[in-house]
Structure 1
């Protein structure tokens, strides 16, 4: 009998008496043959048959009240299949627990044998984590360089600007769009002759002057635009920007990001416990230093790990490699 089973790992399962034969196919692959006697599995079979009896209908009997002999006479193969679906995972996990194994992939189930009144046997083939044996090492065995990240004024400027942006306000302006302003607009797609295409109007789109598709020549078409004015622009048809189409842009609003000045009011807004710009900059510098120290430590630990892996040279089960590459 050949069937496919989905083997997962529930948090809890009942222990049961098993006969287990374990084979090491290779360094990572294990083949576990399990055999459960009828005496050990009969309670589980009866439970599966009871659940099955509640789902079927036979004229003259209420669901769940069909005699056992009648169920077996008419539905024995179905009940056997129900039993295997209900219990193969439990027996497999009991086998893993007894042999103290932790698989790294879903088991392949084969050689399934079961009939009413007989033992239940099957084979589970799976992979386990490699056994890593650390060699004896003396001092300076691993050649690892420690990289030190050092901040400069540019890092300070970037950090301060990020805080300013986090507390910026947006204002509607009337003096015409400038680079980095936001334009709220309607976009109407045009055909090659400049005629609007019905059904291709996109309302209330937000564009940033100088970003994305709105750089260089496109940017120049947007600079200076005011509410109610229009411009002819080209937008890409796809992400690869292999082609573009003409659009008519009509400005609804022009919005500008106003960054706060770095003064005492701004410092209080960022951290009420600070009372000076100098104290604010010292705090920012300390946080940058902590961040760079953390990055330096993480870099060192990665280098150390790579050096240790090279030294130990552990293998990896194919399933672990495939899972790593696919994710």
Structure 2
């Protein structure tokens, strides 16, 4: 076999492959054997029909077609390996010449990973928010804890902001009550903004037994996005009572004996949370700075497929689970379809570029992924997906996504190398030390977000469920 590689552009090549006919013989024998098992010829036992009879009855061309279809993947793979190519996606194959007992010639056009030159990245400098915890931050944190320990009691008065009301709802569109527009015994805290727009104004001032009607745009259900006339009946009003902020509350709500100890712990937890946010911000900014340094040509077909995949995942996984259409989502986001498509393309371009650049860094820095690192990453991904590690692992294996997880960890390690080499300062001009034992997994999360792979395991799980049901 002979092969030649023609570069069409930085991300696409054409392979021209010549195969001497003798190298087709194994596939030709297999074709005769396969046809032998599929057809019946009077006077011959099944599987014992001579090749000349098959040629006479069914045509030599049918045998050659079967043989070529069987042999093409093998010869294509050999040509790819010979040319030391990194193909992306399926090739477009064209048989240019087939001379019986002489020669097979075919071409294969395929996208490839572009050659990338990683420049010196040690000069990258980024600025992140400083970790500053104010007394107000601590007070707000303690107040949130206090809210969780609030008690309620029934009151015989008009409902006011902060009260908890029990209500019945009935929604009409064009004068007709919706099948899914009736709800009874709903508990709602006035002012929380967790239900329909306009409900706070409607129930404020009503006592138990009172009713009101208001107009609101429905956020979900069969008439999502439509204006509805909503009738609300208040069946009960409860006042919320917050515990006193004292040492007794600290003992009730925590393992601490005094309120001051509780506040000190809240300050410590807030600082840890802000440091994590700071590290994430640093990783994102370092990644953006690295991508700015590298010129990466993007394969056109790969980009188109990535855009299609992201749109499908948004519509059928994320929005689908919420019962929301893309049109409703765009309306909530106040975006036109053109703006959405432009953002989707930009995200897809960044995702592909991130993967190419960090994969090249993995090779350049000779980074590898150990079993322990992969297991830790798998457990974290399982937690974020709401699955057990065993369920998640099964979904990933059956979805053929183990290499994807290995790639995520490896690219996370590559980004960690760049972050370590970069200079990170906070808004006060202080050098930020990002040395952390969990840094690799944190950078893996940053890489996932940039590449848009956060839902891959959930998608694998859903695909596995759909196949088993089908």
| TM-score, scaled relative to structure 2 | 0.49
Aligned counterpart for 1:47 among listed residues 7, 20, 30: 30
Shift of 1:305: 3.8
**CA shift digits 1:222-243 (9 cap, x unpaired):** 2355676543222326789986
SS in 2 for 1:149: coil
> Pairwise mapping of residues 234-313 of structure 1 onto structure 2 (< 5 A)?
234-236=215-217, 244-250=227-233, 263-268=250-255, 277-313=259-295
CA distance in 2, matches of 1:52, 1:171: 80
Q: Which residue of 2 aligns with 1:29?
A: 12
Change in CA separation of 1:293 and 1:201 when aligned onto 2, cut-off 3 Å: closer
Q: Which residue of 1 aligns with 2:333?
A: none
**CA shift digits 1:43-66 (9 cap, x unpaired):** 234334544554x45375999636
SS in 2 for 1:88: helix
Shift of 1:21: 0.9
Q: For structure 1, which runs of at least 5 residues remain unmatched after alignment?
A: 1-17, 269-273
Q: Which residue of 1 aligns with 2:389?
A: none
Aligned alpha-carbon RMSD (Å): 4.5
Residues 196 and 217, structure 2, Cα contact 8 Å, conserved in 1:
no
Q: Does 1:128 align with 2:112?
A: yes
Task: Name the one with the larger helix percent.
Answer: 2
Change in CA separation of 1:45 and 1:253 when aligned onto 2, cut-off 3 Å: farther
Q: Which residue of 2 aligns with 1:107?
A: 91
> Pairwise mapping of residues 1-327 of structure 1 onto structure 2 (< 5 A)?
18-54=1-37, 56-58=38-40, 65=47, 67-69=49-51, 70-72=53-55, 73-74=57-58, 76-114=60-98, 117-135=101-119, 142=124, 144-153=125-134, 154-156=136-138, 159=141, 179=161, 181=164, 183=166, 185-189=168-172, 191=174, 197=176, 200=179, 202-204=181-183, 206=186, 208=188, 209-210=190-191, 211=193, 214-216=196-198, 218-223=199-204, 229-236=210-217, 244-250=227-233, 263-268=250-255, 277-319=259-301, 321-322=303-304, 323=306, 325=345, 327=348
Kindly indicate whether structure 1 or structure 2 has the higher relative contact order, using CA contacts under 8 Å at least 6 residues apart. 1
SS in 2 for 1:42: helix
| TM-score, scaled relative to structure 1 | 0.66
How many residues are matched?
Answer: 295
**CA shift digits 1:158-191 (9 cap, x unpaired):** 65566677x6799795757554646553415265
Q: For structure 2, which runs of at least 5 residues remain unmatched after alignment?
A: 308-344, 349-470
Shift of 1:283: 3.9
CA distance in 2, matches of 1:283, 1:62: 88
**CA shift digits 1:199-258 (9 cap, x unpaired):** 646333657444267445x42222355676543222326789986232334457778998
**CA shift digits 1:138-168 (9 cap, x unpaired):** x8x55x2322332334544565566677x67
